[in-house]
Structure 1
Amino acid sequence: MTAYLILDTKITDPVAYEAYKLQAKPIAEKFGGIYRVRGSDVDLLENDLWTPTRIVMIEFPSREDARNFYNSEDYQPVRAIRQNNAECTVLLVDGS
């Protein structure tokens, strides 16, 4: 079953974050990831308790593939770049 990794990212250092963007995509693709949304404009239609900033959604063939990407040795140093240069909420959800 398809799974989606969804990130809401508030970038704190745009220059340093560029390195993350360049390195994360090929690693995600290695695990079957396809970027479906990457930083497009957000219109919040309901729930004024959440203030999304930059949404990224990556589709994976399965939840296992998404977790394998997220926990992979290749991604760990890249994930550290994201964590050091952005505030993120990360979700893993099943597709239909």
Structure 2
Amino acid sequence: MSAFLVVDTKINNPEAYEEYKKLARPIVEKFGGVYRARGGAMEIHQSELWSPTRIVIVEFPDVESARAFIDSEEYAPVKQMRLDNAECTLFILEG
């Protein structure tokens, strides 16, 4: 069953975050991920529980592939770039 990595991001350093995006994409793809949405325009109709900022949705073949990406040694230094330059909420959703 597909799994979706969903990330809501408030970017604090846009220049550094652009570099993060360049480095993250090939690693995402290595683990079978396909970007389905990447910071596009949002039309919010209700936000009682959550006020999203910038949404990224990546589809993986399964939960294990999404976890393998997040926990990979290859992604670790790139992930640190995200942590240093943005505030995020990140979760995996079974599809």
Aligned-partner Cα distance in 1 for 2:12–2:21: 14
Aligned-partner Cα distance in 1 for 2:31–2:49: 34
Question: 18-27 or 49-58, which moves further after superposition?
Answer: 49-58
Deviation, structure 1 residue 44: 1.3
Residue aligning to 2:65: 65
TM-score normalised by structure 1 residue count: 0.95
Residue aligning to 2:33: 33
Residue aligning to 1:18: 18
Residue aligning to 1:6: 6
Deviation, structure 1 residue 75: 0.4
Residue aligning to 1:87: 87
Please, what is the CA RMSD of the aligned residues? 0.8
1:80–1:35 distance in 2 versus 1, CA, 3 Å: same
Structure 2 stretches of 5 or more lacking a match?
none
TM-score normalised by structure 2 residue count: 0.96
| Matched AA of 1:61 | P
Structure 1 stretches of 5 or more lacking a match?
none
Which deviations, in whole Å up to 9, do the C-alpha atoms of 1:23-62 show, x marking residues without a partner? 0010000000000000001111112442211100000000
| Matched AA of 2:61 | P
Runs (4+) of structure 1 exceeding 4 A deviation are none
1:50 equivalent in alignment to 2:46: no
Percent identical residues: 54
